[in-house]
Each structure stands twice: as C-alpha cells, then as structure tokens.
Structure 1
Amino acid sequence: MIAVDLIKRPARYLVIADDRDAVTNWAEHMRENRLPKRLVVHVERQADHPVEREAQWDELSGSTLDAGSESLSLLVYTAVSHGHAAHRAKREYALASAAARMGEAIDTHLEYGGRGWVAIRLADGGSDGELYGSYYDARDAQEHPERCTYFPISPLFPWTPRMCEEHLAHMADYGRRSRGLVRDFDAFL
C-alpha cells in the first residue's frame, strides 16, 4: 500500500520554463496590451535523498540543454504543490517584465527632466505616458484607478529596476490582501 501525504508542506520543486514566445518586437509594437507570459513545460518535486537529487538535477538540466533551445531554463522554487511552483514561476516572470516596463516609463519622463505624478498599471507596469500635477489628477485620469499605482517622479530620485520590482510586488500583494485573495501558504513563501 502506498502512503499518500495529503498535508501540503513546503518543498523544493524543479520547474522547466519556456520563454520563447513571451515577447516579440512585433507584438509589443502592434498590441500594447499583450502581456508577456512564461510557459511552464514541466514541474517535478525535488528528491529528498542527495544522490537522487543530483541525478534528478543532471537529468532535467541535460534535457533542457538537449532541447537546443536557449529559451528553456531550469528553475528551483519552494512551494507546497506542483501547481503552486508553476504559479510562482509565472508570477516571477510577469513581475520582472512589469518592472522593466515600469522602469522604461519612468526613464522616458526623466529623460526630458519631467517632474510630477505618474500612473503605472499593476498588471503590466505600463503607463499612459502622461505626467500629472498631483496624485488626485493622476488617479482621476485613469479608467480603472484601482488597477494602478501612483507616485511622484523627479530627476533627484531615480528608480532602479529593483525598486520598480519591489514597488509592484508590494502594491499587487496589498491589493490581493485587501480583497481577501491571499491564501495562507502564499503569505509565508
């Protein structure tokens, strides 16, 4: 008889992800609302025994190299299930893409010495391209103000990619928590 563990405990999962068609220049220019997405190809729980773990790593990393695609990558996540590990891989990629787009929007304004308030969409890190005189002006100009974050920008305070990523993650988590969408295991991972 095989014993099945029904209690979800954090474990390490190996995820093979494909970023091949995540972003193309044509799609970015033709459809601004297209969000880059990571395709999760395979998820496997990491073995407990060190020898098995090393063999498992060698097999999966070898299969990503044998595929001959530079877009495949082997990632490791701490999660409570296969689905949670896949979700974390997709969310990490979406957050990094949104942070890059947010940084580009801020840099575009700072390039011309702009000062004021900017509205950034939480979903993709994009902006409407406008600078506003106040928080309220920026919020009132948005079609869905609850889906954006607002903050002042100035040449005296440049934003780094890390700051953009942390800000978007914090605001997205704040929105999820305020709507009651956070599960217990998400709060600790």
Structure 2
Amino acid sequence: MTALGHAPAYRVDLVKTPAVYLVIADDRDAFTTKAEHRRPDRLPKRRVVYVERQAEHPVEQKAQWDELSGSCLDAGSESLSLLTYTAVSHAHAASLARREYALFNAALRMSEVIDTHLQSGGRGWVAIRIQDGGSDGELYSDYDAARAAQQHPEQCTYFQISPQAPWTHRMCEEHLKFMSHLLHGCLVYGTPTCRY
C-alpha cells in the first residue's frame, strides 16, 4: 500500500478475469428504528464486511479460509458468514453477495404471499413485485385486471395461483431471477448476458 492508501499501479488488475472471492457478510437486520421494523414493505439487507480474492495455491487457500472463518467465529456473532463468489472484482463479489440475499428474501416473501392465498382457498391472478417479492394482497379475476390495478405494472410479474400448482421457495427464486433479467433487458435467447 502507498501512503495514500491505494494499491500501487503494478498490483491493480486491469484485466477483469473471473476469480474466486471470499466475502464476510453480516445478515443482521440493517434497520434499527422501531418505525422501520413496522413498515410492511421493509426488506432486510446484507452488509458486506470484508472481501478478499482467494489465493492461488491450495495450501494458501486453506490458511486463508481458516483465518477468515476464525475471524467470523471470534466476532461471536451468528449473523456473520463466510461466503465464496466467482466475480471479476471485489466490488462485483460484494454486489453478488447483496443481490443473492435480496433475491432469497424476495422469494421468501413471494412464497408467503402465495401460501396465504392458498390457505384461504383463494384462486385467481396475483401481481408480485419483481424487486421485493411483495404483493398488494389482492387476487384478481384475470391477467388484465391484475396488471391494471398496479401503480407500476412493468415492475410486476403476474400469474395464476391454484392449489393444483403450488410454488416452492426455489421456484419463486428462479422465477424472480428470470423476471429481473427480463426487466433489465439482459436476456439473449433466454440466457442472461449480465454477470449478476
């Protein structure tokens, strides 16, 4: 490191080749006020504490893993976890960690919305927000009615729910991931072209 705290130019990776990065993430709820906890559209967020590129040599990799996992244990917080991502930079790895957590929680929320309707015997069309997996809580008679009732219809996904076709958490996650890529316009022949 230089006196200014920047890596010397010879150490900067200008060719963004994919590598494995180790990420320490804190999944403790980021909201601290009672008002934020009571908001119905509130989503928990993952805080990325530390990112490090994985060493090349297997012996160094093990030592690196042991040191970082030991740091998580020494912190004494159950919300800290050590994760691995294939990314092109430290920032990309941190972004992937945050995105994965947001997608998991959105899928959880989506499956809860579907289960709530199914438990009450509901059938019909539901509108789910792609960003957070939430809904307006209504069931609609058809696709057009569900779309027309939304303030931002392009940011939602619409489908029919029925006890004959239950949704698992994994199905919700895959659906929201696909719809997110579709919304961002990064699908080419059904395959995402972005790195997220």
Q: When the two structures are superposed, what TM-score results if normalisation uses the length of structure 2?
A: 0.87
What is aligned with 2:102? 94
What is aligned with 1:118? 126
What is aligned with 2:62? 54
What is aligned with 1:127? 135
Task: Please give the secondary structure, in 2, of the residue aligned with 1:132.
Answer: coil
RMSD of Structure 2 on Structure 1 (CA): 2.2
1:1-189 to structure 2, matched below 5 A, reads: 2=10, 4-22=12-30, 30-177=38-185, 186=195
Distance, in Å, in 1 between the alignment partners of 2:122 and 2:194 is: 42
Q: Aligned residues, how many?
A: 184
Shift of 1:5: 3.4
Q: Is the 8 A contact 1:27 1:34 kept in 2?
A: no
Distance, in Å, in 1 between the alignment partners of 2:141 and 2:36 is: 29
Structure 1: any 5+ residue segments left out of the alignment? none
Distance, in Å, in 2 between the alignment partners of 1:127 and 1:28 is: 19
Shift of 1:33: 2.3
Task: Please give the secondary structure, in 1, of the residue aligned with 2:42.
Answer: coil
Task: Please give the secondary structure, in 1, of the residue aligned with 2:185.
Answer: helix
Structure 1 consecutive aligned stretches of length 4 or more whose deviation exceeds 6 Å: none
Shift of 1:21: 1.7
Give the direction of change, closer, same or farther, for the CA distance of 1:29–1:128 in structure 2 (3 Å limit). Answer: farther
Give the direction of change, closer, same or farther, for the CA distance of 1:64–1:3 in structure 2 (3 Å limit). Answer: closer
Task: Please give the secondary structure, in 1, of the residue aligned with 2:131.
Answer: coil
Give the direction of change, closer, same or farther, for the CA distance of 1:185–1:110 in structure 2 (3 Å limit). Answer: closer
Q: When the two structures are superposed, what TM-score results if normalisation uses the length of structure 1?
A: 0.90
Give the direction of change, closer, same or farther, for the CA distance of 1:154–1:17 in structure 2 (3 Å limit). Answer: same
